[in-house]
Amino acid sequence: MSRSSVGRSWHPYADLILTNANVIAVDARDTRAQAVAIKDGRIVALGAPEAVAAARGPQSDVLDLRGRTVIPGLIDGHAHHDREGLRQLFPSLAGARSIDDILARVRELAHQTPKGEWIVTMPIGEPPHYFAAAEGLAEGRYPTRWELDRAAPDHPVYLRGIWGYWRDRPPIVSVANSAALARCGIGRDTQPPCSTVEIERDPATGEPTGVFREHFEVPVLEFTLFRAVPRFTHAQRVRGLRGSIQRSHAAGTTSIYEGHGLVPEVQAAYLELHAAGELTMRTHLVLSPTWSSVDEAEQVMDQWLTYATGPGLGDEWLRLGGVFVRIGGREDVAAIVRAGLPYTGWAGFAEQAYTPEEFRALAFAAARRNLRLNTIVSTPDTLRTALDTLEAIDRELPIRQRRLVLIHVSEASREAIERMRRLGVVATTQPANFLWKRGGPALASGADPERLLPHRDFLELGLPFALSTDNNPYNAFWALWAAVERTEREQGRVVGAGQRISPLEALRALTRDAARLTFEESVKGSIEVGKLADLAVLADDPLAVPPARLRDLQVQLTLVGGRVVYCADPELLPTRQRDTAARVEGQRSGR
Per-residue pLDDT of 6-44, as tens digits, reads 334 445 799 999 999 999 999 999 999 999 999 999 999
Specify whether 14 is located in the same domain as 147: no
Cα 498 versus chain centre, distance: 28
Q: How far is 505 from 259, CA to CA, in rounded Å?
A: 22
* Domain finish residue from 172, 201, 223: 223
The structure's pTM equals 0.94
Whole-angstrom Cα distance, residue 431 to residue 445?
18
Q: Tell whether the model's pLDDT for residue 574 goes beyond 90.
A: no
Residues 332 and 239 in one domain: yes
Phi and psi (nearest 5°) for 373? Answer: -85, 135
Cα–Cα distance for residue pair 125/131, rounded to 1 Å: 7
User: 135 and 40 in one domain?
Assistant: no
**117 torsion bin: left (phi>0), alpha (psi -120 to 50), beta (else):** beta
Residue 59 placed within a domain = yes
116-130, 239-253, 456-470, 565-579: segment of lowest average pLDDT? 565-579
Whether 454 and 487 map to the same domain: the answer is yes
Residues 396-432: tens digit of each pLDDT: 999 999 999 999 999 999 999 999 999 999 999 999 9
Q: Where are the alpha helices (DSSP H) in 276-403?
A: 294-303, 331-339, 356-368, 380-396
Do 389 and 359 meet the contact criterion of CB atoms below 8 Å apart?
yes
Report if residue 357 sits inside a domain: yes
- 198 has which bridge partners? 213
pLDDT at 570: 87
Q: How many residues does the chain have?
A: 591
pLDDT-derived band of residue 293, with 50, 70 and 90 as boundaries? confident
Note the pLDDT of residue 2.
35
- Whether residue 207 is predicted with pLDDT greater than 80 in this model: the reply is yes
Domain boundary among 502, 524, 546: 524
Please indicate, yes or no, if residue 279 is contained in any of the structural domains. yes
In 172-243, beta strands by DSSP E: 172-176, 197-201, 208-214
- In 45-131, alpha helices (H): 49-52, 81-86, 99-112
∠ CA 125-238-583, rounded to 5°: 110
Q: What is the DSSP string of 459-504?
A: HHHT--EEE--TTSSS-HHHHHHHHHH-B-TTT--BS-GGG---HH
Q: Within this chain, do residues 129 and 240 fall inside the same structural domain, yes or no?
A: no
DSSP state of 411: B
110 and 6 within one domain: no
pLDDT above 70 covers a percentage of the chain that reads: 95
**C-alpha count within 13 angstroms, C-beta hemisphere, residue 203:** 0
pLDDT band at 265 (very low <50, low <70, confident <90, very high): very high
Total of domains in the chain: 3
Q: Which amino acid is at 335?
A: A
156-188, pLDDT tens digit by residue?
A: 999 999 999 998 788 999 999 999 999 999 999
Confidence label for 132 from pLDDT (cuts 50, 70 and 90): confident
3-state SS assignment for residue 286: strand
Residue 102's domain spans which residues? 91-159+161-223
For residue 360, report the phi and psi dihedrals to the nearest 5 degrees: -60, -45
Boundary residue ending a domain (191, 223, 255): 223
Q: What share of the chain is helix, strand, coil (3-state, %, to 5)?
A: 35, 20, 45
Categorize the per-residue pLDDT at 1 as very low, low, confident or very high, splitting at 50, 70 and 90.
very low
Phi-psi region of 95 (alpha: psi -120 to 50; beta: other; left: phi over 0): left
